[in-house]
Structure 1
Amino acid sequence: MCDRIALSTFTNPAYFFSFMSITMSRDIRSELGFLKKDVFYDTVKPYSCRYTPSDGTPRHNLMVEMMDVTIHDARPLNPTLEGNGFTLSSFPTEMTYRDYADGEKVSTIYAPELEKHLRDLFQAPHVKVIDYAIRRRHPNFPVSTGLEYVDQQPARLVHVDFSRDEARQMLQTLYGDKAREILQHRWQIVNTWKPLKGPLFDWPLAIGDAQTFDAAHDYQSSDVVYPGWAYENVLVHARPDQKWYYFHALEESETIIFKCTDSDVHASQDEVGSVYGERS
Protein backbone atom coordinates (compact mmCIF):
# COMPACT_ATOMS: atom_id res chain seq x y z
CA MET A 1 0.00 0.00 0.00
CA CYS A 2 1.25 3.44 -0.81
CA ASP A 3 0.28 6.62 0.98
CA ARG A 4 0.84 10.13 -0.22
CA ILE A 5 -0.41 13.65 0.33
CA ALA A 6 -1.18 16.19 -2.36
CA LEU A 7 -1.95 19.83 -1.75
CA SER A 8 -3.13 22.62 -3.99
CA THR A 9 -1.48 25.89 -3.11
CA PHE A 10 -1.85 29.45 -4.35
CA THR A 11 1.29 31.57 -4.82
CA ASN A 12 1.87 35.67 -5.93
CA PRO A 13 -6.89 10.24 -13.75
CA ALA A 14 -11.30 0.94 -16.71
CA TYR A 15 -8.19 -0.80 -15.72
CA PHE A 16 -5.37 1.58 -15.46
CA PHE A 17 -2.36 -0.37 -16.59
CA SER A 18 -1.96 -3.73 -18.25
CA PHE A 19 1.76 -4.11 -17.71
CA MET A 20 4.81 -2.27 -16.51
CA SER A 21 8.48 -2.82 -17.28
CA ILE A 22 11.60 -1.15 -15.92
CA THR A 23 14.73 -0.71 -18.00
CA MET A 24 18.27 -0.44 -16.63
CA SER A 25 18.03 3.34 -17.04
CA ARG A 26 14.99 3.35 -14.70
CA ASP A 27 12.71 4.26 -17.58
CA ILE A 28 9.31 2.67 -17.15
CA ARG A 29 6.81 1.48 -19.77
CA SER A 30 3.25 1.80 -18.55
CA GLU A 31 -0.19 3.03 -19.57
CA LEU A 32 -1.70 6.45 -18.91
CA GLY A 33 -5.31 7.45 -19.50
CA PHE A 34 -6.02 10.27 -21.97
CA LEU A 35 -9.13 11.90 -23.36
CA LYS A 36 -9.66 10.58 -26.89
CA LYS A 37 -9.28 13.18 -29.63
CA ASP A 38 -12.77 13.05 -31.16
CA VAL A 39 -14.98 15.43 -33.17
CA PHE A 40 -17.66 14.84 -30.51
CA TYR A 41 -15.81 17.28 -28.27
CA ASP A 42 -15.87 19.98 -30.93
CA THR A 43 -19.47 20.71 -29.91
CA VAL A 44 -19.94 18.93 -26.56
CA LYS A 45 -17.95 19.74 -23.44
CA PRO A 46 -16.54 16.77 -21.51
CA TYR A 47 -17.88 16.27 -18.00
CA SER A 48 -17.78 13.78 -15.14
CA CYS A 49 -20.08 13.60 -12.10
CA ARG A 50 -18.75 12.72 -8.68
CA TYR A 51 -22.15 11.25 -7.83
CA THR A 52 -24.92 9.28 -9.57
CA PRO A 53 -27.54 11.71 -11.00
CA SER A 54 -31.07 10.79 -9.97
CA ASP A 55 -32.52 11.78 -13.36
CA GLY A 56 -30.65 9.08 -15.28
CA THR A 57 -28.02 11.40 -16.74
CA PRO A 58 -24.82 9.42 -17.48
CA ARG A 59 -22.13 10.00 -14.88
CA HIS A 60 -19.71 11.10 -17.60
CA ASN A 61 -19.25 11.50 -21.34
CA LEU A 62 -15.52 10.82 -21.35
CA MET A 63 -13.97 8.67 -24.07
CA VAL A 64 -10.76 7.52 -22.42
CA GLU A 65 -7.96 5.77 -24.25
CA MET A 66 -5.13 4.02 -22.46
CA MET A 67 -1.81 4.78 -24.12
CA ASP A 68 1.47 2.95 -23.60
CA VAL A 69 4.15 5.52 -22.80
CA THR A 70 7.72 5.66 -21.56
CA ILE A 71 8.09 7.43 -18.22
CA HIS A 72 11.60 8.63 -17.45
CA ASP A 73 13.31 9.07 -14.10
CA ALA A 74 13.40 12.83 -13.56
CA ARG A 75 16.34 12.85 -11.14
CA PRO A 76 19.02 13.14 -13.86
CA LEU A 77 16.95 15.87 -15.55
CA ASN A 78 16.96 18.24 -12.56
CA PRO A 79 13.72 19.84 -13.82
CA THR A 80 12.77 23.41 -13.00
CA LEU A 81 9.37 24.93 -12.38
CA GLU A 82 9.93 27.67 -14.96
CA GLY A 83 11.39 25.42 -17.65
CA ASN A 84 9.59 22.09 -17.21
CA GLY A 85 6.63 23.05 -15.05
CA PHE A 86 7.74 20.86 -12.14
CA THR A 87 10.61 20.46 -9.74
CA LEU A 88 11.73 18.51 -6.68
CA SER A 89 12.27 20.22 -3.36
CA SER A 90 13.73 19.09 -0.05
CA PHE A 91 11.01 19.61 2.53
CA PRO A 92 11.49 18.06 5.99
CA THR A 93 8.41 18.28 8.19
CA GLU A 94 7.54 17.75 11.85
CA MET A 95 4.69 15.46 10.78
CA THR A 96 4.90 11.73 11.53
CA TYR A 97 3.17 9.07 9.46
CA ARG A 98 0.33 8.79 11.99
CA ASP A 99 -0.14 12.56 12.06
CA TYR A 100 -1.49 12.60 8.50
CA ALA A 101 -4.61 10.75 9.69
CA ASP A 102 -5.39 13.77 11.88
CA GLY A 103 -6.93 16.54 9.78
CA GLU A 104 -6.33 19.11 12.47
CA LYS A 105 -2.59 18.38 12.48
CA VAL A 106 -2.48 18.60 8.70
CA SER A 107 -4.16 22.02 8.92
CA THR A 108 -2.26 23.42 11.90
CA ILE A 109 1.21 21.89 11.40
CA TYR A 110 1.75 20.71 7.83
CA ALA A 111 -0.08 23.47 5.97
CA PRO A 112 1.77 26.32 7.76
CA GLU A 113 5.08 24.51 7.21
CA LEU A 114 4.31 24.23 3.52
CA GLU A 115 3.18 27.83 3.19
CA LYS A 116 6.43 29.05 4.74
CA HIS A 117 8.48 26.72 2.52
CA LEU A 118 6.78 28.04 -0.61
CA ARG A 119 6.99 31.67 0.47
CA ASP A 120 10.74 31.24 0.87
CA LEU A 121 11.06 29.31 -2.39
CA PHE A 122 9.01 31.72 -4.51
CA GLN A 123 9.81 34.88 -2.56
CA ALA A 124 6.04 35.44 -2.66
CA PRO A 125 4.16 37.79 -0.30
CA HIS A 126 1.02 35.61 -0.33
CA VAL A 127 0.84 31.82 -0.14
CA LYS A 128 -2.35 30.00 0.81
CA VAL A 129 -3.10 26.28 0.99
CA ILE A 130 -6.42 25.73 -0.76
CA ASP A 131 -7.08 22.06 -0.07
CA TYR A 132 -5.39 18.72 0.44
CA ALA A 133 -6.00 15.04 -0.32
CA ILE A 134 -4.45 11.97 1.26
CA ARG A 135 -4.42 8.87 -0.91
CA ARG A 136 -3.98 5.38 0.52
CA ARG A 137 -4.04 2.75 -2.22
CA HIS A 138 -6.24 -0.27 -1.50
CA PRO A 139 -4.26 -3.53 -2.04
CA ASN A 140 -6.71 -4.52 -4.81
CA PHE A 141 -6.61 -1.22 -6.68
CA PRO A 142 -7.01 -0.75 -9.63
CA VAL A 143 -9.17 -3.91 -9.64
CA SER A 144 -12.57 -2.96 -8.27
CA THR A 145 -13.72 -4.56 -5.03
CA GLY A 146 -17.34 -3.77 -5.83
CA LEU A 147 -17.48 -1.47 -2.82
CA GLU A 148 -16.66 2.19 -2.26
CA TYR A 149 -13.08 2.72 -1.15
CA VAL A 150 -12.64 4.25 2.30
CA ASP A 151 -9.65 6.34 1.18
CA GLN A 152 -8.96 8.25 -2.01
CA GLN A 153 -7.17 6.13 -4.61
CA PRO A 154 -4.55 7.14 -7.21
CA ALA A 155 -5.85 9.37 -9.98
CA ARG A 156 -5.93 7.47 -13.27
CA LEU A 157 -6.69 10.09 -15.89
CA VAL A 158 -4.13 12.65 -17.07
CA HIS A 159 -5.39 16.09 -16.10
CA VAL A 160 -4.69 19.64 -14.92
CA ASP A 161 -6.59 20.31 -11.71
CA PHE A 162 -7.95 23.75 -12.62
CA SER A 163 -8.41 25.70 -15.83
CA ARG A 164 -7.10 29.27 -15.87
CA ASP A 165 -10.65 30.67 -15.74
CA GLU A 166 -11.46 28.45 -12.77
CA ALA A 167 -8.28 29.56 -11.05
CA ARG A 168 -9.21 33.23 -11.40
CA GLN A 169 -12.63 32.56 -9.91
CA MET A 170 -11.00 30.66 -7.06
CA LEU A 171 -8.74 33.58 -6.23
CA GLN A 172 -11.69 35.94 -6.15
CA THR A 173 -13.48 33.60 -3.75
CA LEU A 174 -10.44 33.16 -1.51
CA TYR A 175 -9.31 36.77 -1.37
CA GLY A 176 -12.50 38.77 -1.84
CA ASP A 177 -11.78 42.49 -2.09
CA LYS A 178 -8.02 41.83 -2.18
CA ALA A 179 -8.31 39.68 -5.31
CA ARG A 180 -8.33 42.66 -7.68
CA GLU A 181 -4.94 43.80 -6.43
CA ILE A 182 -3.49 40.27 -6.46
CA LEU A 183 -4.66 39.63 -10.02
CA GLN A 184 -2.76 42.71 -11.20
CA HIS A 185 0.50 40.91 -10.37
CA ARG A 186 1.88 37.53 -11.33
CA TRP A 187 0.20 34.63 -9.55
CA GLN A 188 0.40 30.86 -9.73
CA ILE A 189 -1.50 27.85 -8.47
CA VAL A 190 0.84 24.96 -7.82
CA ASN A 191 0.40 21.46 -6.45
CA THR A 192 2.71 19.70 -4.05
CA TRP A 193 2.89 15.91 -3.80
CA LYS A 194 4.88 13.74 -1.38
CA PRO A 195 4.87 10.19 0.00
CA LEU A 196 3.91 9.70 3.64
CA LYS A 197 6.50 6.92 3.75
CA GLY A 198 9.61 6.53 1.67
CA PRO A 199 11.26 5.44 -0.45
CA LEU A 200 8.25 5.27 -2.76
CA PHE A 201 8.06 2.48 -5.36
CA ASP A 202 4.30 1.93 -5.53
CA TRP A 203 2.15 4.16 -7.78
CA PRO A 204 4.39 7.26 -7.87
CA LEU A 205 3.28 10.41 -9.67
CA ALA A 206 3.81 10.74 -13.42
CA ILE A 207 4.23 14.33 -14.62
CA GLY A 208 4.32 15.73 -18.14
CA ASP A 209 7.15 18.03 -19.20
CA ALA A 210 5.41 21.33 -20.01
CA GLN A 211 7.89 22.06 -22.80
CA THR A 212 6.53 19.07 -24.78
CA PHE A 213 2.83 20.01 -24.63
CA ASP A 214 0.85 22.18 -27.02
CA ALA A 215 -1.98 23.82 -25.09
CA ALA A 216 -3.95 24.64 -28.25
CA HIS A 217 -4.08 20.99 -29.41
CA ASP A 218 -3.44 18.86 -26.31
CA TYR A 219 -5.78 20.43 -23.74
CA GLN A 220 -9.58 20.19 -23.40
CA SER A 221 -11.58 22.03 -20.73
CA SER A 222 -13.88 19.74 -18.76
CA ASP A 223 -16.46 20.08 -15.98
CA VAL A 224 -16.22 18.14 -12.72
CA VAL A 225 -19.73 18.07 -11.27
CA TYR A 226 -20.88 17.66 -7.68
CA PRO A 227 -24.45 18.00 -6.33
CA GLY A 228 -25.16 21.73 -6.47
CA TRP A 229 -21.80 22.90 -7.79
CA ALA A 230 -19.08 22.24 -10.36
CA TYR A 231 -15.60 23.34 -11.32
CA GLU A 232 -13.60 23.32 -14.53
CA ASN A 233 -10.41 21.33 -14.99
CA VAL A 234 -8.39 20.39 -18.08
CA LEU A 235 -8.09 16.95 -19.67
CA VAL A 236 -5.31 15.97 -22.05
CA HIS A 237 -5.15 14.38 -25.52
CA ALA A 238 -2.17 12.08 -26.14
CA ARG A 239 0.50 13.05 -28.64
CA PRO A 240 3.76 11.17 -29.43
CA ASP A 241 5.98 14.18 -28.69
CA GLN A 242 4.84 14.44 -25.06
CA LYS A 243 7.44 13.43 -22.50
CA TRP A 244 6.64 11.95 -19.09
CA TYR A 245 8.65 11.76 -15.88
CA TYR A 246 8.56 10.39 -12.33
CA PHE A 247 10.96 10.58 -9.40
CA HIS A 248 12.56 7.24 -8.55
CA ALA A 249 12.45 6.21 -4.87
CA LEU A 250 10.88 9.45 -3.65
CA GLU A 251 11.59 10.03 0.04
CA GLU A 252 9.19 11.44 2.63
CA SER A 253 11.52 14.42 3.09
CA GLU A 254 11.06 15.33 -0.60
CA THR A 255 8.09 16.97 -2.27
CA ILE A 256 7.24 17.43 -5.94
CA ILE A 257 6.06 20.92 -6.85
CA PHE A 258 4.24 21.25 -10.17
CA LYS A 259 2.31 24.04 -11.81
CA CYS A 260 -1.41 24.03 -12.25
CA THR A 261 -1.89 27.58 -13.56
CA ASP A 262 0.41 30.56 -14.11
CA SER A 263 -0.81 34.05 -14.98
CA ASP A 264 2.42 34.60 -16.94
CA VAL A 265 1.56 33.17 -20.35
CA HIS A 266 5.24 33.30 -21.32
CA ALA A 267 6.19 30.94 -18.50
CA SER A 268 5.91 27.16 -18.80
CA GLN A 269 2.46 25.95 -19.77
CA ASP A 270 -0.02 24.67 -17.23
CA GLU A 271 1.37 21.40 -15.97
CA VAL A 272 -0.32 18.04 -16.45
CA GLY A 273 -0.11 15.18 -14.01
CA SER A 274 -1.39 11.67 -13.51
CA VAL A 275 -0.38 8.51 -11.68
CA TYR A 276 0.95 5.31 -13.19
CA GLY A 277 1.47 1.87 -11.68
CA GLU A 278 4.82 0.72 -10.42
CA ARG A 279 5.17 -2.41 -8.35
CA SER A 280 8.08 -2.87 -5.98
Structure 2
Amino acid sequence: MAQPIANSGMNVVLPYLARDPLYKTEKPYATDFDVSTIPGAKDTNHRIELVEHTVHDARATSKSFSLERNGFQFLKGQTCIDVTNCDDDNLIYTKFRPEIAAILRKHFPFYKSFRYLDHQVRKRSPLFPGSPGEPVNFAQPASLPHADFTTRGAVLRMAEKFPETVYCDMEYDLINAWTVLRGPNNDWPLAVCDFNSIDSAADCIANDIIHENSVGENSLLFNSDRHRWYYLADQRPDDLIVFRNSNSLGKRANSYHAAFDTGAVHEPARQSIEIRFACFR
Protein backbone atom coordinates (compact mmCIF):
# COMPACT_ATOMS: atom_id res chain seq x y z
CA MET A 1 0.00 0.00 0.00
CA ALA A 2 1.20 3.54 -0.78
CA GLN A 3 2.73 5.46 2.10
CA PRO A 4 1.83 9.19 2.35
CA ILE A 5 4.60 11.78 2.62
CA ALA A 6 3.62 15.05 4.25
CA ASN A 7 3.07 17.91 1.77
CA SER A 8 4.82 16.01 -0.98
CA GLY A 9 3.06 12.91 -2.25
CA MET A 10 3.44 9.24 -1.49
CA ASN A 11 5.79 6.31 -1.83
CA VAL A 12 4.33 3.81 -4.29
CA VAL A 13 5.47 0.70 -6.11
CA LEU A 14 5.88 0.98 -9.89
CA PRO A 15 6.32 -2.10 -12.13
CA TYR A 16 9.24 -1.10 -14.36
CA LEU A 17 10.65 -3.23 -17.15
CA ALA A 18 13.69 -4.94 -15.63
CA ARG A 19 17.19 -4.25 -16.95
CA ASP A 20 17.46 -7.88 -17.98
CA PRO A 21 20.24 -9.32 -20.21
CA LEU A 22 17.45 -10.73 -22.39
CA TYR A 23 16.96 -7.30 -23.97
CA LYS A 24 20.52 -7.24 -25.24
CA THR A 25 19.48 -9.80 -27.86
CA GLU A 26 15.67 -9.74 -27.90
CA LYS A 27 13.40 -6.75 -28.34
CA PRO A 28 10.65 -6.36 -25.74
CA TYR A 29 7.18 -7.10 -27.06
CA ALA A 30 3.59 -7.63 -25.98
CA THR A 31 0.55 -8.88 -27.89
CA ASP A 32 -2.96 -7.47 -27.54
CA PHE A 33 -4.78 -10.64 -28.64
CA ASP A 34 -5.09 -14.25 -27.48
CA VAL A 35 -2.10 -16.35 -28.59
CA SER A 36 -2.99 -19.48 -26.63
CA THR A 37 -3.87 -21.41 -29.81
CA ILE A 38 -0.50 -20.66 -31.44
CA PRO A 39 2.07 -23.38 -30.59
CA GLY A 40 4.99 -22.00 -28.63
CA ALA A 41 3.71 -18.42 -28.66
CA LYS A 42 3.99 -16.15 -25.63
CA ASP A 43 1.89 -13.04 -25.17
CA THR A 44 4.91 -11.04 -23.90
CA ASN A 45 8.58 -11.32 -22.99
CA HIS A 46 8.38 -8.56 -20.37
CA ARG A 47 10.35 -9.14 -17.19
CA ILE A 48 9.20 -6.81 -14.46
CA GLU A 49 10.83 -5.42 -11.34
CA LEU A 50 8.79 -3.69 -8.63
CA VAL A 51 10.44 -0.46 -7.55
CA GLU A 52 9.44 2.03 -4.86
CA HIS A 53 9.32 5.65 -5.99
CA THR A 54 7.95 8.86 -4.57
CA VAL A 55 5.09 10.23 -6.65
CA HIS A 56 4.76 13.94 -5.86
CA ASP A 57 1.45 15.77 -5.70
CA ALA A 58 1.72 18.49 -8.34
CA ARG A 59 -0.73 20.62 -6.35
CA ALA A 60 1.59 20.64 -3.34
CA THR A 61 4.75 21.72 -5.14
CA SER A 62 5.85 25.20 -6.09
CA LYS A 63 7.17 23.89 -9.41
CA SER A 64 5.48 24.73 -12.67
CA PHE A 65 5.43 22.30 -15.56
CA SER A 66 5.30 22.89 -19.29
CA LEU A 67 4.75 20.64 -22.26
CA GLU A 68 7.91 21.91 -23.96
CA ARG A 69 10.20 21.59 -20.95
CA ASN A 70 8.83 18.62 -18.98
CA GLY A 71 6.77 16.75 -21.57
CA PHE A 72 3.50 17.37 -19.73
CA GLN A 73 1.35 20.19 -18.41
CA PHE A 74 -1.61 20.40 -16.03
CA LEU A 75 -4.52 22.46 -17.38
CA LYS A 76 -8.06 23.39 -16.45
CA GLY A 77 -10.83 22.76 -18.96
CA GLN A 78 -14.52 21.95 -18.74
CA THR A 79 -15.95 19.48 -21.25
CA CYS A 80 -19.25 17.77 -21.99
CA ILE A 81 -18.16 14.21 -21.10
CA ASP A 82 -18.85 12.48 -17.78
CA VAL A 83 -19.76 9.02 -16.47
CA THR A 84 -23.30 9.28 -17.88
CA ASN A 85 -22.36 9.77 -21.55
CA CYS A 86 -18.79 8.50 -21.93
CA ASP A 87 -19.96 5.50 -23.98
CA ASP A 88 -21.39 7.76 -26.69
CA ASP A 89 -18.69 7.69 -29.38
CA ASN A 90 -20.62 10.13 -31.55
CA LEU A 91 -20.79 12.69 -28.72
CA ILE A 92 -17.10 12.24 -28.03
CA TYR A 93 -16.24 12.89 -31.67
CA THR A 94 -18.69 15.73 -32.38
CA LYS A 95 -18.44 17.67 -29.09
CA PHE A 96 -15.63 16.42 -26.82
CA ARG A 97 -13.04 16.29 -29.61
CA PRO A 98 -13.46 19.97 -30.65
CA GLU A 99 -13.64 21.02 -26.97
CA ILE A 100 -10.23 19.49 -26.27
CA ALA A 101 -8.81 20.81 -29.54
CA ALA A 102 -9.91 24.33 -28.53
CA ILE A 103 -8.20 23.97 -25.13
CA LEU A 104 -4.99 22.79 -26.79
CA ARG A 105 -5.13 25.62 -29.33
CA LYS A 106 -5.55 28.19 -26.54
CA HIS A 107 -2.64 26.97 -24.44
CA PHE A 108 -0.30 25.87 -27.24
CA PRO A 109 -0.67 28.42 -30.06
CA PHE A 110 2.44 27.08 -31.82
CA TYR A 111 0.24 24.24 -33.11
CA LYS A 112 -1.36 25.25 -36.40
CA SER A 113 -3.74 22.31 -36.84
CA PHE A 114 -5.02 19.20 -35.09
CA ARG A 115 -6.03 15.78 -36.42
CA TYR A 116 -7.92 13.36 -34.20
CA LEU A 117 -6.18 10.01 -33.71
CA ASP A 118 -8.35 8.09 -31.24
CA HIS A 119 -9.79 8.03 -27.74
CA GLN A 120 -9.99 5.50 -24.92
CA VAL A 121 -12.42 5.17 -22.01
CA ARG A 122 -11.12 3.19 -19.04
CA LYS A 123 -13.33 1.83 -16.28
CA ARG A 124 -11.41 0.00 -13.58
CA SER A 125 -12.92 -3.37 -12.79
CA PRO A 126 -13.22 -4.32 -9.10
CA LEU A 127 -11.15 -7.36 -10.13
CA PHE A 128 -8.21 -5.19 -11.24
CA PRO A 129 -5.37 -5.85 -10.63
CA GLY A 130 -5.93 -8.97 -8.53
CA SER A 131 -7.59 -11.29 -11.06
CA PRO A 132 -5.75 -11.20 -14.39
CA GLY A 133 -7.48 -13.11 -17.13
CA GLU A 134 -10.96 -12.34 -15.88
CA PRO A 135 -13.17 -10.87 -18.64
CA VAL A 136 -13.67 -7.09 -18.52
CA ASN A 137 -15.71 -4.86 -20.79
CA PHE A 138 -13.46 -1.79 -20.70
CA ALA A 139 -9.76 -1.00 -20.86
CA GLN A 140 -8.05 -1.07 -17.47
CA PRO A 141 -5.41 1.25 -15.95
CA ALA A 142 -1.97 0.89 -17.56
CA SER A 143 0.57 0.56 -14.75
CA LEU A 144 3.75 -0.20 -16.73
CA PRO A 145 5.74 3.06 -17.21
CA HIS A 146 5.63 3.82 -20.93
CA ALA A 147 5.22 6.37 -23.70
CA ASP A 148 2.52 5.50 -26.21
CA PHE A 149 4.75 5.81 -29.29
CA THR A 150 8.38 5.93 -30.31
CA THR A 151 9.19 8.23 -33.23
CA ARG A 152 8.95 5.17 -35.48
CA GLY A 153 5.76 4.10 -33.76
CA ALA A 154 4.27 7.53 -34.46
CA VAL A 155 5.02 7.12 -38.17
CA LEU A 156 3.37 3.68 -38.16
CA ARG A 157 0.28 5.00 -36.37
CA MET A 158 -0.02 8.01 -38.65
CA ALA A 159 0.25 5.82 -41.74
CA GLU A 160 -2.42 3.51 -40.36
CA LYS A 161 -4.78 6.31 -39.36
CA PHE A 162 -4.23 8.65 -42.32
CA PRO A 163 -3.12 6.46 -45.24
CA GLU A 164 -4.08 9.14 -47.75
CA THR A 165 -1.37 11.56 -46.58
CA VAL A 166 2.41 11.37 -46.34
CA TYR A 167 3.73 13.14 -43.24
CA CYS A 168 7.45 12.52 -43.60
CA ASP A 169 8.15 16.19 -44.45
CA MET A 170 5.83 17.63 -41.77
CA GLU A 171 6.60 18.51 -38.15
CA TYR A 172 4.13 17.14 -35.65
CA ASP A 173 3.67 15.93 -32.07
CA LEU A 174 1.33 13.20 -30.84
CA ILE A 175 -0.46 14.70 -27.84
CA ASN A 176 -2.68 13.05 -25.23
CA ALA A 177 -5.26 14.84 -23.07
CA TRP A 178 -6.26 12.69 -20.07
CA THR A 179 -8.84 13.24 -17.34
CA VAL A 180 -11.15 11.41 -14.97
CA LEU A 181 -14.90 11.16 -15.53
CA ARG A 182 -15.81 11.79 -11.91
CA GLY A 183 -13.98 13.21 -8.94
CA PRO A 184 -12.33 13.88 -6.70
CA ASN A 185 -10.43 10.79 -7.80
CA ASN A 186 -7.53 9.12 -5.98
CA ASP A 187 -8.16 5.60 -7.31
CA TRP A 188 -5.33 4.47 -9.61
CA PRO A 189 -4.49 8.03 -10.74
CA LEU A 190 -2.10 8.79 -13.58
CA ALA A 191 1.52 9.70 -12.82
CA VAL A 192 3.77 11.45 -15.35
CA CYS A 193 7.57 11.45 -15.27
CA ASP A 194 9.53 14.67 -15.73
CA PHE A 195 11.44 14.25 -19.00
CA ASN A 196 14.40 16.11 -17.50
CA SER A 197 14.87 13.28 -14.99
CA ILE A 198 15.15 10.64 -17.75
CA ASP A 199 18.34 9.62 -19.55
CA SER A 200 16.83 8.67 -22.90
CA ALA A 201 19.85 6.64 -24.01
CA ALA A 202 20.08 4.59 -20.80
CA ASP A 203 16.52 4.46 -19.48
CA CYS A 204 14.33 3.92 -22.57
CA ILE A 205 13.79 0.96 -24.87
CA ALA A 206 11.52 0.43 -27.88
CA ASN A 207 8.78 -2.17 -27.43
CA ASP A 208 6.77 -3.93 -30.15
CA ILE A 209 2.99 -3.95 -29.72
CA ILE A 210 1.82 -6.92 -31.75
CA HIS A 211 -1.72 -6.76 -33.10
CA GLU A 212 -3.35 -9.55 -35.09
CA ASN A 213 -2.72 -7.78 -38.42
CA SER A 214 -0.05 -5.19 -37.71
CA VAL A 215 2.74 -4.15 -35.36
CA GLY A 216 3.09 -0.84 -33.51
CA GLU A 217 5.91 0.46 -31.37
CA ASN A 218 5.93 2.27 -28.05
CA SER A 219 8.68 2.94 -25.51
CA LEU A 220 9.17 1.42 -22.06
CA LEU A 221 11.16 2.74 -19.14
CA PHE A 222 13.90 1.08 -17.13
CA ASN A 223 14.15 2.21 -13.51
CA SER A 224 16.42 5.00 -12.35
CA ASP A 225 16.62 6.68 -8.96
CA ARG A 226 16.72 10.00 -10.85
CA HIS A 227 13.13 9.70 -12.10
CA ARG A 228 10.74 12.33 -10.76
CA TRP A 229 7.05 11.42 -10.86
CA TYR A 230 4.02 13.73 -10.43
CA TYR A 231 0.26 13.34 -10.24
CA LEU A 232 -2.87 15.33 -9.36
CA ALA A 233 -4.36 14.42 -6.00
CA ASP A 234 -8.16 14.67 -5.86
CA GLN A 235 -8.33 14.98 -9.64
CA ARG A 236 -11.64 16.27 -11.01
CA PRO A 237 -13.06 16.12 -14.55
CA ASP A 238 -11.90 19.67 -15.31
CA ASP A 239 -8.31 18.77 -14.37
CA LEU A 240 -6.58 17.86 -17.63
CA ILE A 241 -3.20 16.17 -17.86
CA VAL A 242 -1.80 17.00 -21.29
CA PHE A 243 1.36 15.18 -22.37
CA ARG A 244 3.41 14.55 -25.47
CA ASN A 245 3.71 10.90 -26.47
CA SER A 246 6.07 11.35 -29.41
CA ASN A 247 7.27 13.85 -31.96
CA SER A 248 8.45 13.69 -35.53
CA LEU A 249 11.92 15.07 -34.75
CA GLY A 250 12.61 12.66 -31.90
CA LYS A 251 14.15 15.53 -29.92
CA ARG A 252 11.38 17.11 -27.86
CA ALA A 253 10.37 16.32 -24.30
CA ASN A 254 8.01 13.32 -24.19
CA SER A 255 6.09 11.99 -21.21
CA TYR A 256 6.39 8.53 -19.76
CA HIS A 257 3.37 7.77 -17.64
CA ALA A 258 1.79 5.05 -15.50
CA ALA A 259 -1.25 4.49 -13.34
CA PHE A 260 -0.44 3.63 -9.73
CA ASP A 261 -2.17 2.23 -6.65
CA THR A 262 -2.74 4.77 -3.87
CA GLY A 263 -4.30 2.17 -1.61
CA ALA A 264 -7.56 4.17 -1.60
CA VAL A 265 -9.66 1.01 -1.66
CA HIS A 266 -12.83 2.64 -0.32
CA GLU A 267 -13.24 5.12 -3.16
CA PRO A 268 -15.25 4.48 -6.36
CA ALA A 269 -13.26 2.72 -9.05
CA ARG A 270 -11.54 5.15 -11.40
CA GLN A 271 -13.19 6.00 -14.70
CA SER A 272 -11.20 8.08 -17.18
CA ILE A 273 -11.04 9.23 -20.76
CA GLU A 274 -8.06 10.08 -22.92
CA ILE A 275 -8.01 11.52 -26.41
CA ARG A 276 -5.02 11.70 -28.75
CA PHE A 277 -4.28 14.19 -31.52
CA ALA A 278 -1.62 14.67 -34.14
CA CYS A 279 -0.70 18.34 -33.62
CA PHE A 280 1.07 20.07 -36.50
CA ARG A 281 3.46 23.00 -36.13
Distance (whole Å) between structure 1 residues aligned to residue 245 and residue 119 of structure 2: 14
**1:111 aligns with one of 81, 91, 97:** 97
Report the CA distance between 1:49 and its aligned residue. Answer: 1.2
Equivalent AA in structure 2 for residue 62 of structure 1: H
Question: What corresponds to 2:214 in structure 1?
Answer: 229
Report the CA distance between 1:267 and its aligned residue. Answer: 3.1
Equivalent AA in structure 2 for residue 89 of structure 1: L
> Where do 1:138-177 residues align within 5 Å?
138-144=125-131, 147-176=134-163
5+ residue gaps, structure 1, are 1-18
Alignment: residue pair count: 259
5+ residue gaps, structure 2, are 268-281
Equivalent AA in structure 2 for residue 47 of structure 1: Y
Does residue 55 in structure 1 map to residue 41 in structure 2?
A: no
Report the CA distance between 1:156 and its aligned residue. Answer: 1.6
Does residue 209 in structure 1 map to residue 191 in structure 2?
A: no
Equivalent AA in structure 2 for residue 104 of structure 1: N
Question: What corresponds to 1:69 in structure 2?
Answer: 53
**What's the TM-score once normalised by structure 1's chain length?**
0.86
Does residue 30 in structure 1 map to residue 12 in structure 2?
A: yes
Equivalent AA in structure 1 for residue 139 of structure 2: Q
Report the CA distance between 1:214 and its aligned residue. Answer: 0.8
Question: What corresponds to 2:66 in structure 1?
Answer: 80
Distance (whole Å) between structure 2 residues aligned to residue 252 and residue 186 of structure 1: 31
Report the CA distance between 1:58 and its aligned residue. Answer: 1.0
Whether the 8 Å CA contact 1:47–1:223 is kept in 2: the answer is yes
**2:121 aligns with one of 104, 123, 134:** 134
> Where do 1:93-108 residues align within 5 Å?
93-108=79-94
Whether the 8 Å CA contact 2:82–2:237 is kept in 1: the answer is no
- Partner of 1:99, secondary structure, is coil
Distance (whole Å) between structure 1 residues aligned to residue 150 and residue 144 of structure 2: 16
Report the CA distance between 1:103 and its aligned residue. Answer: 1.6
Distance (whole Å) between structure 1 residues aligned to residue 251 and residue 135 of structure 2: 43
Whether the 8 Å CA contact 1:71–1:245 is kept in 2: the answer is yes
- Partner of 1:101, secondary structure, is coil
Structure 1 residues 272 and 179: alpha-carbon distance in aligned structure 2, compared to 1, 3 A threshold: same
Distance (whole Å) between structure 2 residues aligned to residue 96 and residue 146 of structure 1: 28
Report the CA distance between 1:205 and its aligned residue. Answer: 0.2
% identity of equivalent residues = 26
Equivalent AA in structure 2 for residue 122 of structure 1: F
